[in-house]
Amino acid sequence: MEIFRYAENENGLSDNEIRLAVRESLKNRTIKHALLLPPDITRFYSGAGIITNAYYHFLTDAGAGVDVMPALGTHVAMTKEEASSMYGDIPFEKFIVHNWRTDVVKLGEVPKDYIMEITEGLWDSPVSVEINRLLMDPKYDLIVSVGQVVPHEVVGMANHAKNLFVGCGGSQMINSSHMVGAVYGMERMMGRDHTPVRKIFDYSFTHFLKERPILFALTVTTAPEDKIHMHGLFISEERSGFEAAVALAQKKNIDFVEHGIKKCVVYLTPKEFKSTWLGNKAVYRTRMAQVSGGELIILAPGIERFGEDPAVDVLIRKYGYRGRVKILEEFKKPENQDLRDNMGAAAHLIHGSSDGRFSITYAVRNISENEVRGVGYQAASYDEMIKKYNPEKLTYGYNTLPDGEEIYYIPNPALGLWINREKFEE
């Protein structure tokens, strides 16, 4: 199928251009029942909201029945207000909540030998392939997976089959894939396509979903001054659409800083970030730009918990963000079966630490500073911290404060990956 690709312009695509692309992708299709799989509110700046809305209306206007199942992964279900904010006037009763623990069916396994080959022997167990059972329902003659291609700490570049096997996947696939990424090393993968975790998803798609009527609608966006700019929209049934999006995202969403950052200040908008599970993008996405001995300050006015899932929240509070070596030690202890049963949480704890290379301070308002310190971070009052680091007065990139201090400010860590050019070129 043709890839619908639009100009890589700084201003982004207009709403009309986006809707035209959606309409064109439905030409010569007779659809009775469609299932839309957009990202949730944590990917608000993906531009997926308008795309999902356009598919819903074009399909329903043509007489098709349409269901919408946000690819929640392990995240909490969206509220009616969030759904309206992101997807517009789609009736809330059309939304289905994916439960990663109970709503899935096992399709097969990615074999142990293949896993050992792609991880260089670092992981020696097969990976169970699970997916929400609705994706296998024969009544759906079109499944549209909508999402943003952007650097990602687990898979390298987010989206395509990840939206299916993690966003709509089961606990075993989510846990195993995240642990594979953590053991292999996120700095070896972020911003790249053919990583071990991506190969797991590709294998799973090719062997178990290739016959399903799945169409991918992939975006590449930035959000200067909190406004979404969709630089590319790639609609295709083939992997080539994803590869084209990766190439554009590598240009738009990877920022090379000219020298290592000594103090990085990151702002987490309350609309997107209510947990450290999500907020730790501030850690993942900046760690390749931080100097050893540096400082990361996370301005987090909306953070109110650690995990998106209550059981995972308990694990984060129990084990904390103590570094890769410590978490792997805890993972191997016989008495810590709860951690082995939740490998995704173990991987997250590894990802969320700097391994002692730089300090991490969460400036919070809706969770106690003692709770933050209890999971291994430094803590500060948000209201006190913004007296010096006020998001309304800072500009993206390097800032020199009145006292002469230099900081690097990032208004949204979800939209990029930051790398020290000096270190990268070594």
Q: What is the pLDDT of residues 379-404, one digit of tens each?
A: 999 999 999 999 999 999 999 999 99
Segment 394-416 mean pLDDT? 94
Q: Rounded distance, CA 312 to CA 174, Å?
A: 13
pLDDT value for 217: 97
Q: What's the pLDDT band for 2 if we cut at 50, 70, 90? A: low
**HSE-up (13 A, CA, CB side) for residue 144:** 26
Residue 426 pLDDT exceeds 60: no
Question: CA–CA distance from 126 to each of 109, 133, 331 (Å)?
Answer: 6, 21, 18
In the predicted model, is pLDDT for residue 276 greater than 60? yes
pTM of the predicted model as reported, rounded to 2 decimal places: 0.85
Tokens 């986006």 locate to 18
Neighbours of 91 (CB within 10 A): 11
Q: Going from the N-terminus, what domains does the chain have, and what CATH number goes with each?
A: 15-252 (3.40.50.11440), 255-425 (3.90.226.30)
Spacing of C-alpha 126 from chain mean position = 24
Tell me: the pLDDT tens digits for 228-275? Answer: 999 999 999 999 999 999 999 999 999 999 889 999 999 999 988 999
DSSP 12: -
pLDDT of residue 425: 59
Residue 410 has pLDDT above 90, yes or no: yes
| Beta carbons of 268 and 301 less than 8 angstroms apart | yes
- Nearest in space to 117 (alpha carbons), one of 106, 107, 126: 126
**pLDDT tens, position by position, 80-128:** 999 999 999 999 999 999 999 999 999 999 999 999 999 999 999 999 9
pLDDT for position 259: 86
Which pLDDT score is estimated for 33? 98
Judge contact between 330 and 323, C-beta under 8 A.
Answer: no
> SS3 helix, strand, coil % of the chain, rounded to 5?
40, 25, 40
Structure tokens at 105: 């069916």
Give the pLDDT of residue 128: 96
Distance in angstroms between the alpha carbons of the first and the last residue of the chain: 41
In angstroms, the Cα distances linking 170 to 37, 98, 156, 166, 388 are 15, 10, 20, 7, 44
Per-residue pLDDT band for 11 (boundaries 50, 70, 90) equals: confident
**pLDDT tens digits, residue range 189-236?**
989 999 999 999 999 999 999 999 999 999 999 988 788 999 999 999
Distance CA 366, CA 388 (A): 20
Q: In what order do the strands lie in the sheet with 214-222?
A: 65-68, 33-37, 142-148, 214-222, 229-236
Q: What is the mean pLDDT of the chain?
A: 94
pLDDT at residue 9, as a whole number: 66
